A = this chain, B = another copy of it.
């Protein structure tokens, strides 16, 4: 087994997503065969990209407050909110609060799991 504190994993940022940091806390290099765990933090007033892709997200909100946009709708999220975002749905996570919006975001290994391999 591998045990770590998520805060000890390097946080990555991207010019495409100002105010957003991402930690790959369980990834392929840990031996994970199917899916990965990331911890994402969005600064107040910032948001993740508004985009879509073939893979799903499974999200658990750890702290902060915001809204999630998906499929043309918008819903509030806060500590304890769970989001299932299906593949191909346009989505975005927006921090509408005054402290970081922090959440876990699970994704399949996008370079291994092809949509043809699953029961859809």
Residues of chain A at interface, number, CB under 8 A: 48
Task: Name which of A26, A34, A75 has the most chain B CB atoms within 10 A of its CB.
Answer: A34
In the complex, whether A51 has a CB less than 8 A from a CB of chain B is no
Taking CB atoms, residues of chain B closer than 8 Å to A80 are 5-7
* A11 interface hit (Cβ, 8 Å): no
- Considering the complex, give the chain B residue whose CB is closest to the CB of A36: B58
Q: How far is the CA of A17 from the CA of B42 in the complex (A)?
A: 37
Residues in chain B near residue A86, CB distance under 8 A: 1, 31
**Contact in complex: B91, A1 (CB < 8 Å):** yes
Q: Give the chain B neighbours of A32 by CB distance below 8 A.
A: 56, 58, 84
Please indicate which of the listed interface residues A1, A37, A39, A58 has the most CB atoms of chain B within 10 Å of its own CB.
A1
